[in-house]
């Protein structure tokens, strides 16, 4: 029960429903004991002495008992359902909130399908057990206690004889639980793996079809499905092995009862009514014994699910606020960013950034250039505190960013990622996602600066057009321009453009950059790009290679010296003249 002790905070607040549900079930169970006593009375006190005048009274009593028992079972079902759903609601919200605040380090390894499985199938198992399973286990115990108590009251010797096989049944049940629990955990894990395969296939369906890899995907899913099937078959084997043994020990009690009890009736040491009542009571006990396998099944499934849910709830949050962290006020932030001997490496990997020093006063435009894996995106992620810097420091206006609250820090930063993500909502909502309290005029202004307004107005519902999942229905360039508008509308002190114009053509890129120069005034801007044209207006350009700065300077300075920057420039402009550079004075004026 350790799993459920750890989950106590989610169901203990609903304990009134829990205890009320159990109480109703207890009462209904206790009423079930009326039947054996009625049978004994009917045979010994009505049929044998032929006192049939009491039959109508007995019939009315049975109707009353059945009605009351049905009503109590209805209340139990209603309260149990309410309890289970409330607990699931509490857990679901806690899980979702936890997922929102887990750091990038967790999501580097997490699988979407696995997380979805924990939020659905595992949560459902918990809901069922807390709502009904726990009460049923309590009910089984009560039925055994009540039934054995009445049997002892009738004939204690016969009770001891019929109970002789019960220890074997209990031992088999415990053994069954120890085998079935790991099996159910394997089922949950293989189901998560299968769900992940489906999610990845649906998400990447265009890639699959473009490479004609449908057969490969079918085979990959078949392997995952085979694992799920194998785990289910293993579980079925365990059931087939242990359940008949439990049923055998339960039925041996009936054999002992019929043989010994019949002999006692013949010897007149027990009445016929008592034997019939005893026979009814033994089934009253065997019923729960037969169902004990189901209840163990329910318990072990929920325990396995609870362990998987607790893995998320107990997951360590690597990036979080310090105690008494500083809350930044937007009006006081200037945007002066400084990297001081920053070295960083991802878990179990070599250093992604080594001894990085960078001073970007407010209003400065910094360009980052380098090949894949050079460390460009890591610089930005460290600035956003996606990961914590452990060697060196990063400061904003002279304050270490580790001493600033995450929320107030990230409110000062707007990012346009290379891989654009849009929500399944209207274009208006996607643009205003980072700042909900804005007017339509502000949204349109941001869209115009991002050169998105014209194509938005050509859509059927304009800004109220609903985009598909992850922006399906829009081109890569259109999605990127909406993302740029979203960042501009946030009005940040620090603007990060992570290859933000990679999906647009050169002409549109030039137009967007013209809008950027207007918007960059007074802001600190970091531009990650592969195109020289995106970086030429930067005040300082850092060329990175394997996490180290190998060149730095302005566009003109870097062109005048041999190195990676000049080589990249020569490749990109080998067949065309160098575009006219914006005069230095014009750039300074824009900034």
CATH number of the domain where residue 257 is located: 1.20.1560.10
Residues 101, 107, 113, 115, Cα dihedral to 10°: -30
Closest CA to 25 of 139, 145, 150: 139
> Mind listing the pLDDT tens digit for each residue in 121-162?
888 888 888 888 888 888 888 888 888 888 888 888 888 888
Prediction pTM value = 0.70
Long-range contacts from 307-313, C-beta under 8 angstroms, 24+ separation = 307/3, 307/185, 308/118, 308/122, 308/188, 309/7, 309/91, 309/95, 309/118, 309/122, 309/123, 309/126, 310/3, 310/6, 310/7, 312/95, 312/98, 312/99, 312/115, 312/118, 313/94, 313/95, 313/98
Question: 304 and 429: one domain?
Answer: no
Task: Establish if 481 belongs to a structural domain.
Answer: yes
Task: Establish if 407 belongs to a structural domain.
Answer: no
> Mind listing the pLDDT tens digit for each residue in 387-431?
888 889 999 998 999 999 988 898 888 888 877 788 888 889 888
Task: Establish if 256 belongs to a structural domain.
Answer: yes
Helices and strands (H, E) in the chain, number of each type: 24, 10
Q: What is the pLDDT of residue 586?
A: 41
DSSP letter string over 191-206? HHHHHHHHHHHHHTHH
Starting at the edge strand found earlier in the chain, the sheet holding 391-396 runs: 351-360, 337-345, 391-396, 399-400
Give the integer Cα–Cα distance in Å for 24 and 219.
52
Task: Establish if 338 belongs to a structural domain.
Answer: no
Question: 431 and 285: one domain?
Answer: no
* DSSP3 helix / strand / coil % (the chain, rounded to 5): 65, 10, 25
CATH code of the domain covering residue 468? 3.40.50.300
Question: 427 and 308: one domain?
Answer: no
Question: 297 and 435: one domain?
Answer: no
Domain range enclosing 444: 418-488
Give the bridge partners for 345, in sequence order. 351
Helix (H) or strand (E) holding 425: none
Question: 14 and 138: one domain?
Answer: yes
Task: Establish if 355 belongs to a structural domain.
Answer: no
Give the bridge partners for 548, in sequence order. 545
Task: State the residue for tokens 């003109």.
Answer: 556
Task: Establish if 569 belongs to a structural domain.
Answer: no
Question: 300 and 447: one domain?
Answer: no
User: Which of 280, 313, 346 corresponds to the end of one domain?
Assistant: 313
User: Which of 473, 488, 503 corresponds to the end of one domain?
Assistant: 488
Task: State the residue for tokens 């207890």.
Answer: 26
Q: 365 phi and psi, to 5 degrees?
A: -105, 120
User: Which of 286, 313, 340 corresponds to the end of one domain?
Assistant: 313
Which tokens sit at 482?
């909406």
Q: 500 phi and psi, to 5 degrees?
A: -70, -15
Note the Cα 527 to chain centre separation in Å: 33
Strands (E), 220-299: none
Question: 296 and 164: one domain?
Answer: yes
Average model confidence (pLDDT) across the chain: 82
Task: Establish if 396 belongs to a structural domain.
Answer: no
Q: What is the pLDDT along the chain (591 residues), one digit of tens a residue?
A: 688 888 888 888 888 998 999 899 888 888 888 878 877 777 877 777 777 777 788 778 888 888 998 999 999 999 999 998 999 899 999 998 888 888 788 887 777 777 887 888 888 888 888 888 888 888 888 888 888 888 888 888 888 888 887 778 777 877 777 787 788 778 878 887 887 788 778 777 767 776 677 888 888 888 888 888 888 898 888 888 887 887 787 778 778 877 888 888 888 788 888 888 887 887 777 777 766 767 777 788 788 888 888 988 888 888 888 888 898 887 788 889 999 999 998 877 888 899 999 999 988 999 998 887 788 888 988 998 988 888 899 999 989 999 999 888 988 888 888 777 888 888 898 888 877 778 898 889 888 888 889 888 988 888 898 886 655 677 777 888 888 888 888 878 898 888 766 555 666 666 666 656 666 667 899 988 877 877 888 899 999 988 889 989 999 988 888 888 888 888 877 766 555 444 443 443 333
Which tokens sit at 115?
């997380």
- Report how many domains make up the chain: 2
Give the integer Cα–Cα distance in Å for 210 and 381.
32
Task: State the residue for tokens 């709830």.
Answer: 313
Task: Establish if 542 belongs to a structural domain.
Answer: no
């Amino acid at each position: 029960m350790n799993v459920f002790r750890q989950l106590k905070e989610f169901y203990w607040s609903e304990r009134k429903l829990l205890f009320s549900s159990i109480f109703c079930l207890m009462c209904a169970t206790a009423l079930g004991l009326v039947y054996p006593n009625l049978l004994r009375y009917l045979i010994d006190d009505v049929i044998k002495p032929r006192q049939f005048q009491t039959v109508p009274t007995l019939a009315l009593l049975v109707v009353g008992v059945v009605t009351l028992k049905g009503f109590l079972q209805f209340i139990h079902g209603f309260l149990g359902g309410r309890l289970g759903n409330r607990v699931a609601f509490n857990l679901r919200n806690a899980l979702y909130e936890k997922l929102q605040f887990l750091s990038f380090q967790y999501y580097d390894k997490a699988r979407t399908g696995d997380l979805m499985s924990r939020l659905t199938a595992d949560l459902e198992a918990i809901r069922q057990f807390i709502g009904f399973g726990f009460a049923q286990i309590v009910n089984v115990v009560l039925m055994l206690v009540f039934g054995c108590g009445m049997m002892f009251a009738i004939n204690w010797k016969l009770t001891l004889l019929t109970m002789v096989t019960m220890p074997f049944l209990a031992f088999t049940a415990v053994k069954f639980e120890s085998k079935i629990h790991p099996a159910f955990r394997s089922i949950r894990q293989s189901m998560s793996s299968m769900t992940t395969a489906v999610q990845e296939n649906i998400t990447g369906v265009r890639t699959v079809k473009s490479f004609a890899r449908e057969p490969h995907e079918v085979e990959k899913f078949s392997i995952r499905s085979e694992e799920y099937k194998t785990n289910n078959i293993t579980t079925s084997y365990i059931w087939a092995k242990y359940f008949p043994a439990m049923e055998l020990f339960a039925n041996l009690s009936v054999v002992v009862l019929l043989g010994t009890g019949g002999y006692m009736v013949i010897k007149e040491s027990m009445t016929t009514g008592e034997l019939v009542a005893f026979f009814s009571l033994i089934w009253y006990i065997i019923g729960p014994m037969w169902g004990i396998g189901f209840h163990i099944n329910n318990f072990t499934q929920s325990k396995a699910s609870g362990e998987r849910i607790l893995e998320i709830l107990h997951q360590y949050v690597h990036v979080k606020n310090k105690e008494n962290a500083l809350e930044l006020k937007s009006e006081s932030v200037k945007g002066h960013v400084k990297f001081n001997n920053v070295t960083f490496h991802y878990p179990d990997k070599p250093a992604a950034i080594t001894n990085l020093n960078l001073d970007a006063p407010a209003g400065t435009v910094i360009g980052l250039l380098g090949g894949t894996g050079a460390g460009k995106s890591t610089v930005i992620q460290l600035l956003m505190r996606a990961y914590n810097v452990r060697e060196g420091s990063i400061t904003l206006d002279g304050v270490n960013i580790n001493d600033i609250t995450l929320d107030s820090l990230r409110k000062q930063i707007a990012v346009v990622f290379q891989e654009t993500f849009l929500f399944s909502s209207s274009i208006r909502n996607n643009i205003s996602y980072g700042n909900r309290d804005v007017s339509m005029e502000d949204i349109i202004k941001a869209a115009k600066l991002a050169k998105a307004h014209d194509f938005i107005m050509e859509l059927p519902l304009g800004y109220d057009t609903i985009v598909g999942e992850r922006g399906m229905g829009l081109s890569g360039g259109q999605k990127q321009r909406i993302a740029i508008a979203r960042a501009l509308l946030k009005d940040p002190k620090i603007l990060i453009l992570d290859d933000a114009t990679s999906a647009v053509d050169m002409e549109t890129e030039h137009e967007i950059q013209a809008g950027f120069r207007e918007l960059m005034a007074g802001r600190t801007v970091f531009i990650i790009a592969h195109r020289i044209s995106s970086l030429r207006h930067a005040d300082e350009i850092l060329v990175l290679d394997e996490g180290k700065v190998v060149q730095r300077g302005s566009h003109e300075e870097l062109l005048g010296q041999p190195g990676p920057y000049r080589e990249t420039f020569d490749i990109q402009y080998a067949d065309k003249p160098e575009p006219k550079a914006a005069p230095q004075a014009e750039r300074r004026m824009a900034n």
